[in-house]
Amino acid sequence: MLKRLLLACALLLSTTTASAAPQRAITDLGNNIYRFQNDTHYSIFIVGKRGVLMTDPINADAARWLKAEVDKRFGKLPVTHLVYSHNHGDHVFGGEVWQEPGTRVIAHQLAAADLARNRAPTALPDITFSDRLNVDFEGRPIELRYHGPNNGAGNISLYVPDAKTLFVVDWIVLKRLPWMELYYYNLDGMIASLHQALAIDFDTVAPGHGQTGTKADVREFLAYLEDLRAAVLDGMNQGKTLAQLQQDIKLDKYAGYAKYREWLPLNIKGAYEQLAQTSGRFGQEK
C-alpha cells in the first residue's frame, strides 16, 4: 500500500513538473525574421550576417533558451540590437542575458524611464526616442514608431519595410477578445493607435500574444473595439447599469473569437469603467 502511494505521488509530481515546462518554439516568418514563442508570449528576432536583432526577451530563462537555440541554428552571432516593445515585465525582463559589449538596447523614452525608475531586472536602454526611430541593421532599415498611449508605457511598433512585417505587443490581438477587464489597456488610445498602424504598408502582423495575421485581421480587431465602445456608450447614455449592459450587449458577429463567452462581460465592464472615468459624466459627484 505504501509502495503504491509513493508511486502515485511520484507520477503526480512528474506530471505536474512536465506540465509546468513552458511551451517554446521558433517559427520562420520569412526574410530572416523569426517568431519566438514562450507559452502565450511572443517576440520576434531578425538574423543578419554579423549579428542578431532581438526584441522582447520575455524573461531570463526564456532568453537563455532562445540564445542557445540561435547559437545552435545560426552560429554564435552577437546580439547587436535589443528592442523593447514597452515597459511591462512579462515581455522585457531578462534582457541582461543578451547584453554584450556593443549591444544597443533601444526603447521609447517613456518605457526606458519606467524601467529605470522601478529598477527593472533587465538591461536598461541606452538609446531612446520620442516619436520615431530608424534603425540600420546591417543596411536593412527597421522602423520604430510610437503611436501614443495604448497599453503600458512607451509601447511601440516595429516595422520591417522590405518584408512588410509589423511587430506589435498587447494592443493588437487577433481573433481573440482583449484581456479580461481591459487590464492595462487605454481603450481610446488603442483605437487611435490602430488607426495609425493601419496606415503602415504591412502584409503580416506578428502580435505579442496569439496568432499572426493580416491587415484585414487588424481592421477586424479595430472594428471590435469600436463596436464595443459604441455599444457600451449607447447603453450608458440610456441610463443603463453595468449589469444591464452585460446582459444586453452581445456583439454576435465576434462570437467566433477566442474567449468571447468568458471575456465579453469583462470587456464590457472595462469599457464602462474607462468611459465613466474619462468622461466624468456617469458617476456620482465626489
Give the domains, in start order, of the chain with CATH numbers.
23-214 (3.60.15.10)
Could you give the C-alpha distances from 285 to 155, 232, 239, 277, in angstroms and in order?
33, 21, 16, 12
Which pLDDT value is given to residue 30? 97
Phi, psi of 159 (to 5 degrees): -125, 130
Q: Give the angle subtended at the CA of 34 by the CAs of 102 and 48, to the nearest 5°.
A: 40
Give the cell for residue 279: 468622461
Alpha helices in the chain (DSSP H): 2-20, 60-74, 89-92, 109-117, 187-197, 215-237, 242-248, 260-279
Which pLDDT value is given to residue 279? 73
Which pLDDT value is given to residue 283? 61
pLDDT along the chain (286 residues), means of 10: 41 46 96 97 98 98 97 95 97 96 97 97 98 98 98 97 98 96 95 98 98 98 98 96 97 97 97 88 56
Instruction: Compute the distance between CA of residue 138 and CA of residue 180 in angstroms, rounded to an integer.
Output: 41
pTM: 0.90
Give the cell for residue 224: 471590435
Contacts of 200 (CB under 8 A, 6+ apart): 145, 157, 159, 166
Which pLDDT value is given to residue 14? 42
Which pLDDT value is given to residue 285? 43
